[in-house]
Amino acid sequence: MVSSFKIPAWLEPGLYGTGIGAIAWWIVLSLVFGWMSAGTAAKTSAEKVQVAVVAYATPACVARFEKQPDAAAAWNTLNKTDTWKRNEMITNAGWVAEPGQKLDPDIANAIAESCTTKILALESLGGKKLNAK
């Protein structure tokens, strides 16, 4: 016995209106009120956390660099190091994190990149004028 369900003709406009209205409402919520899916919210949140951590940790990284005994020589070495190796040099030297602190590799790399930029922008260290050659 095969039965076919047929929607009454008087109900079809209401169903179409409900469907179209739901889609329109979702668009309004997303574009006007900033609603987003849980996945998008998590991704956006993680990006903002990384930006905040990098902004907070970069001055500490630069300060650890400046406190070392021969910061000017280290600056010259960093300046002469290949661009793609600088982040690794900063991280391996221990300037990115506090001693014993474990960081997510992505965050550590972002801090190292920001720290490298700030260190190479220094014009003097310990009263010694730095010159990029």
Does the residue 24 lie in any domain? no
CA dihedral 72, 88, 133, 119 (to 10 degrees): -50
**Residue 94 belongs to a domain:** yes
- Which residue type occupies 25? W
pLDDT at 12: 87
Domain housing 96: 42-126
Domain count, the chain: 1
Residue (of 67, 45, 69, 56) closest to 103 by Cα position? 56
* 51 occurs within a structural domain: yes
Tell me whether residue 55 is in a domain.
yes
- One digit per residue, the tens of pLDDT, for the chain of length 133 reads 566 888 888 888 899 999 999 999 989 988 888 888 899 999 999 999 999 999 999 999 999 999 988 888 889 899 999 999 999 999 999 899 888 888 888 999 999 999 999 999 988 877 778 775 5
- The structure's pTM equals 0.69
